[in-house]
Amino acid sequence: MSDKTQAIFTGDRCLSCTSCMANCPVMAAIKDYRGPKLVGPAHGRMHFSQEDIEATLEFCSNCKSCDRACPSGVAVSTLNMLQRAEYYKTHPHTQAEDMLAHGEKMGHMVRMMPFGATFANLGMEFGKALNIFSKLGLAGERDMPAYAMTPFKDLYSRIKQTAGGKKIVLFTGCYINDNEPQVGEAFVKVMNANGYEVLIDKGFNCCGSPLVVTGYLDEARQHADNNAARILEWKKKGIPVVTPCTSCSLMLKEEYHELFGEHKFHEAAENVYDAFEFLEILQERGEFNDNVKSSGEKLLYHVPCHLKCQSIGLPAANILEDYLGAKVQTADAGCCGISGNYGFRKDKYDVSMKIGAKLFERVKRKDFDKVISDCGTCRMQIHHGSGIKPCHPIEILAAAYT
Amino acid sequence: MKPFDVIVIGGGLAGLMAAAVAADNGQRVALLTYGSGSLPLASGAIDFLDAKAPDVAIKNLPAHHPYKKIGLKACDAAAKFFCDVTAKADLPYNGRLSAQIPIVTAVGTLKYSALVPESMDASNLADKKKIFVVEIKGLKDFYAAMIADNLKKIFPDKTFATAKLDLNLLGGRDITCMDAAQIISGNEQILADGLKTLDAGDDDAIIIPPIFGLEGNASRAAIKSQLRAEILETTCLPPSPTGIRLQRAFIKFLQNAGVRIFENSKVVRGVLDGKKVTGVVVENSVREKVFPARKVILATGGFYSGGITMRDFDQPREPIFDLPVFFPTGAENWSNEQLFSDEPQGFSMTGIFTDENLRPIDESGEILFENLHVVGANLGGSDFIFERSAGGVAISSAYKGATS
């Protein structure tokens, strides 16, 4: 790892081969977007030397299919995000962008009110019914993710942990904390079963992914600085930071460094693991607790784009197959289309649903017992597009520990 | 992670083919790719050699040529397997090793290949009366007049006509053949109606850019059934629908066969146990990950794909297993300054030498690893581009490597 991986140094490797265009799900869905090659590496290099905005930059969903298609290691999508940040230096954010970027802040506000979650969820139902979301520039067709009655960080203190001496820190992520705390609970159960006590660190911020994609790069930088400093503290104590959210882990492991380039981000990244990546490392060391109930379930696995980027294989599929006797079939239907907060924008809703159509068709075939996916927004999109509610693979594993 | 029976490194044509053959033989296969491979940039036509009868020409090659290790039997079997894979994806191919089939290029010349998509097979062009060349309003890089002018030089006795159809492609970005193919897919009637206005008869042919969708043959079938004239697609500038269709046919085959495809997985070295490779190491942004395997197929390509690198002159390297790389000695033999002359480029002969089972060998001919097979463009001993054998060597070496 060196400066070679900082996005702005990768643009010059572009040969204009068009592999990114052939693999861009947004280009496949609509004609408006000029595509990753022109917007990212080509236009990006010009942009850093002069004031010039590519109008179709807004269509990039940061799914990173282009990065994976690129044979030359160009950080195409991050070049797009850096340009998006430049754009917002001279252009105001809309109210919708502000809301979508600041889910963490909104979550805090809700928790400050007595019965805040109940009222917020009611409010969101009314908001949807009265078409208020649509007027704000949000996708009125969607349910906004409902707040859990108790966020994970409060729930956590009530969990009786059974583990011995080894410790890890859970990087909860906003979605698991505010919306699906049961994933956090499942994580604790699995880690306990493997001899790890789970700590949380209330000093962590949102990883910053929603900020980066909406052009709040300065704020994202503050989050990155804070989170990296916290992670380095844990590293000093020899305690790894683990997260079941694949977009959080990609941000912490790779994108901080790609975006901001400082060596400390790489040093911090070395102490961060995806949840199943961590479990597979335990398995390789012979430390994985294989005292599990065999389920033999048929699982359809939608592999999130941001997991595919991480070059760690498919550890969840391996563990569920090897120890639970599950039959894991990958959905192989491409990006789900929601890409974080992209599909929540009113003007991106149709694109997002068009991209996800193939996946929805696949899920609707219902030739499996459950759908699994490591990413919270992927799960929301699959539920919205197919009516079938997926779960996180860690929930399947947790259920197998008695 | 349980060991895979076979790990294939590289997602180009050779890697896809090797993974398909291995999976078809009942093996548990993983395909590790870094970048999407060059098929979206290619025509999808497979050349074996620039010769009227490639099979005869293969017999006459020198002993160090990759085809001599692969053998004609594997070449034939590879061609058959390849056509089976595409047929399964409803992407019919024509051809065999004993003859070549012409296809029309984007500039109106004819290019001859052994295996070609049925939609490009221009074998019957010589028997046609009138040839229509049709361009599409707003579509980049396709010039009907130029194609007609150049084809006229090959077929001076024929009548040519050009036409321009408006398929309402304008609006948004500049439209490539890939975009047009995507838009036509599921909306074939507008193209069919436009082509019907040409009033082309049974003895005529219509030449269009490659826009019959990005998967299989459905768009072409929907349009063909409404026309009396034969309709042909040309090659085009990338991204190329005909190459994308081929890539998707293979990926579909691999998915149906249960092959695990790991994208963005750059292999940095092997895990070695004496003369055995027991796995490969993938480097990600912060750490390494071992993928264990019983057999490894190296399909990482040549200079263009990073399968062979060269930082110092005369010091070419194979970066994963550090295999010996053979190259023509003497700087004067390295390059031919006349780029478009009828002489090959010395540097293109660079690559790995192997035994009959495509296992890498050193200068004394000793096999370096018993369960590592080298396939595709990182094989040494021929200038694939000059002799027009890249596709043929890719699929036949992949077949041989996967079955050895």
Of B238, B233, B184, nearest in space to B210 by CA: B233
A vs B, Cβ pairs < 8 A, gives: 114
- The band of B304, judged by pLDDT with boundaries at 50, 70 and 90, is confident
Residue-range domains of chain A with CATH: 3-90 (1.10.1060.10), 293-400 (3.40.50)
What is the percentage of chain B residues whose pLDDT exceeds 70? 100
Of B115, B121, B75, nearest in space to B99 by CA: B115
Chain A residues 242-281 with a CB less than 8 Å from chain B? 253-254, 257, 266, 269-270, 272, 280
Chain B environment of A266 (Cβ under 8 Å): 285-286
- For the domain B4-92+245-403, what is the CATH superfamily, name and number? FAD/NAD(P)-binding domain (3.50.50.60)
Handedness of CA B34, B36, B39, B41 (dihedral sign): negative
Are A272 and A246 within 8 A, CB to CB?
Answer: no
Are A79 and A41 within 8 A, CB to CB?
Answer: yes
Question: CA of B396 to nearest chain A CA: how many angstroms apart?
Answer: 24
Angle between helices A116-129 and A103-112 (to 10 degrees): 120
Cβ of A313 within 8 Å of Cβ of B262? The answer is: yes
Q: Which residues of A149-183 are buried (b: 16+ CB within 10 A; e: fewer)?
A: eebbbebbeeeeeebeeebbbbbbbbbbbbbbbbb
Of A277, A340, A270, A360, nearest in space to A311 by CA: A277
Cα–Cα dist A109/A126, whole Å: 19
Residues contacting A92, CB < 8 A, separation 6+: none
Cβ of B262 within 8 Å of Cβ of A272? The answer is: no
Helices in B71-109 by DSSP H: which ranges?
Answer: 72-88
**10 Å Cβ neighbour count for B160?**
18
Mean pLDDT of all residues in B115-131? 97
Chain B environment of A72 (Cβ under 8 Å): 35
**10 Å Cβ neighbour count for B199?**
10
Residues contacting A208, CB < 8 A, separation 6+: A219, A220, A221, A223, A224, A227, A251, A256
Residues contacting A225, CB < 8 A, separation 6+: none
- Which of B136, B177, B263 should be substituted to probe chain A, the one whose Cβ sees the most A Cβ atoms within 10 Å? B263
Of B35, B39, B11, B33, nearest in space to B178 by CA: B39
Q: Where are the domains of chain B?
A: 4-92+245-403, 106-234
* Environment class of B119 (CB within 10 Å of its CB; exposed 0-12, middle 13-18, buried 19+): buried
Are A313 and B1 within 8 A, CB to CB?
Answer: yes
Of A72, A272, A308, the CB nearest to B263: A308
Which pLDDT score is estimated for B49? 96
Q: Is B212 on the interface with A (CB under 8 A)?
A: no
Nearest-Cα residue of chain A relative to residue B3: A318
Name residues of chain A where pLDDT drops below 70: 1-4, 46-51, 163
Q: A286-323 pLDDT, tens per residue?
A: 999 999 999 889 999 999 999 999 999 999 999 999 99
Helices in B280-326 by DSSP H: which ranges?
Answer: none
**10 Å Cβ neighbour count for A236?**
9
| pTM given for the model | 0.96
Chain B environment of A21 (Cβ under 8 Å): 176, 178, 239
On the question of pLDDT at B353 being above 90, the answer is yes
Residues contacting B179, CB < 8 A, separation 6+: A27, A31, B169, B173
Cα A203–A204–A210 angle (5° rounding)?
145
Of A185, A139, A191, A184, nearest in space to A164 by CA: A191
Q: Is A28 on the interface with B (CB under 8 A)?
A: yes
Residues contacting A141, CB < 8 A, separation 6+: A349
Structure token digits, residue A39 = 């917007």
Cα–Cα dist A290/A323, whole Å: 6
Are A79 and A7 within 8 A, CB to CB?
Answer: yes
Chain B environment of A284 (Cβ under 8 Å): 1, 290
On the question of pLDDT at B276 being above 80, the answer is yes
* Environment class of B191 (CB within 10 Å of its CB; exposed 0-12, middle 13-18, buried 19+): buried
Q: B31-56 pLDDT, tens per residue?
A: 999 999 999 999 999 999 999 999 99
**10 Å Cβ neighbour count for B96?**
17
Mean pLDDT of all residues in B350-376? 97
Of A33, A68, A270, the CB nearest to B263: A68
Of B256, B248, B257, nearest in space to B13 by CA: B248
Of B161, B160, B228, nearest in space to B192 by CA: B228
- Across-strand partners of B267? B282
Of B10, B3, B4, nearest in space to B302 by CA: B10
Are B188 and B165 within 8 A, CB to CB?
Answer: no
DSSP letter for B174, please. Answer: P
Cα–Cα dist B314/B307, whole Å: 16
Are B236 and B142 within 8 A, CB to CB?
Answer: yes
Handedness of CA B300, B301, B305, B307 (dihedral sign): positive
Chain B environment of A33 (Cβ under 8 Å): 172-173
- Across-strand partners of B55? none
- Please state which of the four CATH numbers 3.40.50.1860, 3.40.50.720, 2.60.120.10, 3.30.70.20 is assigned to the domain occupying B106-234: 3.40.50.1860
Q: Is A21 on the interface with B (CB under 8 A)?
A: yes
Which pLDDT score is estimated for A2? 46
Chain A residues 281-340 with a CB less than 8 Å from chain B? 283-284, 308-315, 317-318, 322, 330, 332
Q: Is B248 on the interface with A (CB under 8 A)?
A: no
Q: B159-181 pLDDT, tens per residue?
A: 999 999 999 988 888 899 999 99
Cα–Cα dist B92/B40, whole Å: 18
Q: A239-271 pLDDT, tens per residue?
A: 999 999 999 999 999 999 999 999 999 999 999
B372: three-class secondary structure by DSSP: strand
